[in-house]
Amino acid sequence: MARMINTFSWSLSRQQMFDECKRRYYLHYYRSWGGWEDSGEPAARLAYRLKQIVNLDMWIGDLLHRLLEGQLTRLRRGFRPAPQLLREQARSLLNQEWRQSVEQRWRENPKHNLNLFEHYYAIGVAEGRRAEIRDKLFSCLDHFCALPLLDRLVAAEPDAWLAVEQLDSFVVDCVPVYLKLDCVVRFEDRTFVIDWKSGRASERDLEQIACYGLYAMQKWSIGFDNLRTLLVYLLADETLEQTIAPEKALAMQERIVSSMASMRALLSDVAANVAREEDFAMTEDRRRCRRCNFHEMCFGPGPITPFDG
């Protein structure tokens, strides 16, 4: 089997991590490389394990997308979701994956067993917090089942569906730019990129929209006039339809090129995508360290003092 090569790429999440803490970026994208192998270096194996850690809110967002992927497959076949059944599926996954984290099953397989930040760093989770995240997930699912948009999805022809929970890439300056598409469907003469959100609106949503425009233009040769995005904030039960302005997409492309240059400037060997830890400084905002899954590699093992916010 050919050895996997760590090639350079770009994504919005990669940019965000680079901007917040260069050391975390290095540990996530470089030090963890090869850590999935039993023969990997101890530091790489630790970094790979820590890379998989998620906090409660990230876990709920991931669970939501996994559950909706199954429902979209059913909608594509003309079947509407059953709210009560969907809740039962969610409850089963919540309990199953919570046990994975509590029982530390990630020690056997960190990629496929949940490792919650709150458990790993012994912060503790109050019973009320568990109920809160469960109710958040249930509310998102209930609002999804009641969306008027589902009528259009059920009625859409099979060949009108262009993507469902698809990880793909487009190219900027000869570098792959990765993004995850929740759902892309063609309604009449327009194509809609539908993005499910479990949290609140943010400035990053506008960057995401611009990336969708660049992707659709490369992938399907879709002009901006025929492309729309639907940002569906399920917890707030709000849907925002957005057009993609060509000048915004062009500005995003320029920003991607600039971001790539900043990332590559810290590499010891750009052509081979080689990085050294000493070239990636830790953030000066230590509050971020207390929320970072790589805390152990920077400060040693042990619990993190509980924090507010």
pLDDT digits (tens, 9 = 90+) for 5-59: 999 999 999 999 999 999 999 999 999 999 999 989 999 999 999 999 999 999 9
**Pair 28, 294: CB distance under 8 Å:** yes
78-87, 117-126, 206-215, 299-308: least confidently modelled range? 299-308
Six-digit token pair at 175? Answer: 């570098």
| Residues 6+ positions from 157 with CB-CB distance below 8 Å | none
Long-range contacts of 117-120 (CB under 8 A, 24+ apart): 117/53, 117/54, 117/55, 117/56, 117/291, 117/293, 118/55, 118/56, 120/53, 120/293
Q: What is the pLDDT of residue 302?
A: 86
- The torsion defined by the Cα of 228, 13, 21 and 301, in degrees rounded to 10, comes to 140
Statement: residue 260 has pLDDT above 70: yes
pLDDT of residue 305: 75
Give pLDDT, residue 2. Answer: 65
Mean pLDDT of the 145-152 span: 96
Cβ atoms < 10 Å from Cβ of 277: 14
Selection from 69, 28, 68, 71 nearest residue 48 by Cα = 28
Name the strand (E) or helix (H) holding 94.
helix 83-102
Predicted local distance difference test score (pLDDT) of residue 306: 60
Query: Looking at the domain 150-244, which fold is it?
Result: Lambda Exonuclease; Chain A (3.90.320)
106 confidence band (pLDDT: 50, 70, 90): very high
Q: How many helices, marked H, and strands, marked E, lie in the chain?
A: 12, 5
| Average pLDDT of the residues in 89-113 | 97
Distance, CA of 48 to CA of 28 (rounded, Å): 8
Identity at 305, one-letter amino acid code: T
Contacts of 64 (CB under 8 A, 6+ apart): 137, 140, 141, 196, 198, 234
Does an H or E element contain 192, and which? strand 190-197
Mean pLDDT across 274-296: 96
Residue range(s) in the chain whose domain bears CATH number 3.90.320.10: 150-244
> Alpha-carbon distance 189 to 98, whole Å?
44
Residue with tokens 């076949």: 77
Cα–Cα distance measured from residue 212 to residue 128, given in angstroms and rounded to the nearest whole number:
38
What pLDDT, on a 0 to 100 scale, did the predictor assign at position 309?
42
Look at residue 307 and tell me whether its pLDDT is greater than 80: no
Reported as a single tens digit per residue, the pLDDT across 215-230 is: 999 999 999 999 999 9
Distances (CA, A) of 235 to 130, 207, 297: 17, 21, 35
Q: How far is CA 93 from CA 29, 59, 81, 113, in A?
A: 29, 11, 17, 12
According to the model, what pLDDT value does residue 144 have?
97
pLDDT at 1 over 60: no
Average pLDDT over residues 83-87: 95
